[in-house]
Structure 1
Amino acid sequence: MSEPPSGRPATRGAAAAPPGDKRSLFERLVEFVSPGPDSKDELIKTLADAEQRELIEPESRLMLEGVLRMADMSAGDVMVAAPRMDLLDIDAPYDELLGVVISTAHSRFPVYEGQRDNIIGILMAKDLLKLQRAPELNLRTLLRPAVFVPESKALNELLRDFRSNRNHLAIVIDEFGNTAGLITIEDVLEEIVGEIEDEFDERERENGIYTLADGTQRVAGDVTIEAVNHAFGVDLPTADFDTIGGLVAHELGHVPRRGELAELGGLRFSVMLTRGGAVRWFRVSRIAAGDVPS
């Protein structure tokens, strides 16, 4: 004999829960009336809406978006390409090595032997100073092991490796085992939090122009052309562009890449750092009489 029908109607739609669903009836009804995002793009739109309703701060939204987008990025998307890497030659004299360290202002350098593609280790800039006090030291003894990762390495996995292994730099290799570029922990973190300013940036905020140890100037890409003209005593055109980054990009005909050179008004602009499709820093020097254009 079948059981008599219950006086309670059967639940349907959002209220009907599959076996094992421990959500309350209220929680299922809320999801039915206002379903959550079904894709990453919808989730990003939801974050933007939350910001507009002042539920989260703009900085929080940007960081959350950075985390979401980073999950789809690999080391090859963020790396500094091999031709634009600042390297040290293991056989170079000390003065030459020191000059590279001073002019580039990095804290870590890949070291190669013979060919640039043959990376044999990583040198900390501070370790190079040990050669001043003990010239008899062999530079090889100061090298630290290089970490190699494939171009396809996911950024979230790479960040986890950086943290667990306490590495700050990795050499990126292509599918054939050749050096494709390098990537630092700062490169990865900047995909989440935006640009990380270093100790030089505090001093550069006044006008975006800072004198380096070798006598050249480090100039921010968003510095006005008028400021560059005043600092260097030149007469670059100001009619069509406001910033020096915009003017250099126009002269090159494309978005500048790290390591590229441009010569304007007697000045040589070398791209030091790019972020978000724009130049963050140039190294600027005067073109000496008789110099051959690059």
Structure 2
Amino acid sequence: MTMQPGTIMRTARRALLALVLLGLCLAAWAQAAGQPAWRISVRDAACSYGPRVQLGEIAEIYGEPPAGLWERLSARELWNNPERTGRQVTVNREQLERLLRHYVPEVGQSWVLPSQLTVQYGGLLLERREIEKKVVEFLTPRAAGLGGEAEFKDFRLPEGVFVDNGSDTVAVDLAGPLAPGRVGLRLTVLTPDGKIVKRLSASVFMNLWKAVPSASKPLNRMHPLEPDDVTFMRRNLAYIPDVWDGSGGPWRIAQPVGKGQPITKAHLEPLPAVARGEKVMLVYQGERIQMAVKAEALSDGDVGQTVAVRNLQTKKEISGTVVDNHTVLVR
């Protein structure tokens, strides 16, 4: 049965209205169940600048708190800061929960707490999103040299990097060659005069989408690779190690390749001048006589190498030297 356009529109409006009513019911249920409409989320790293840590320095509020609540709570003083600038204090989740219950008892259970919190007295905190931005800015022009389209994901970075002052910088460098897949990085905190303050390890996963040589049809072992055997298909090189770049040759297939499958270096081997099973001219060359007969190569061989051949007339096997793609010489 085919529905008319008007019927479809009425059905869609009813479905949308039902979703809205469901959302309102869930919100009312949550409020009736005593769930707060706001939460205070504590960061896992922060800097503090006064004699005592203030709540607003280590946390932020989400949701819809009562008017003026956060303005009042954010200035709440907590524990003492260290006496010396640059010193850090780390507390685990259990310790943090006890401290907040003591200093901010009115919040109750409306906390979102990290596994641990590190607070530095003074200095600056370079947050994770800033580090990620630096990494992308560093890698993008370098990945362009690989060709194709690069994507960066699964950043394994510090949640934050503490620096002593605003003049310190964080430099990004490669820990090894740049290639698709997991890329190792080094993060170095430097003073304005180039002194190394600290070193950190990091990494990111790089996808590299590129048109690569692929089999236009199934290719069996020992098959000489011809131009018509190859097509180009867009693939992610992060999951294709040692893909063939289309250069070199002549080649033949060392391992079978399915239709549409990328051709890697492992699929190829050099095509010998004479391949086993090929027909060649077996040339006998002496001081006073030279003759040529048809023969079959019994092994592979390049120019200058010795191969075994079978004389197709006498059926005898003999060894000779490969002269070119069609000739084996016996002296």
TM-score (norm 2): 0.20
Q: Quick check: which one's strand share is greater?
A: 2
Q: Quick check: which one's helix share is greater?
A: 1
RCO comparison, higher one (Cα < 8 Å, 6+): 1
Of structures 1 and 2, the larger Rg is shown by 2
TM-score (norm 1): 0.21
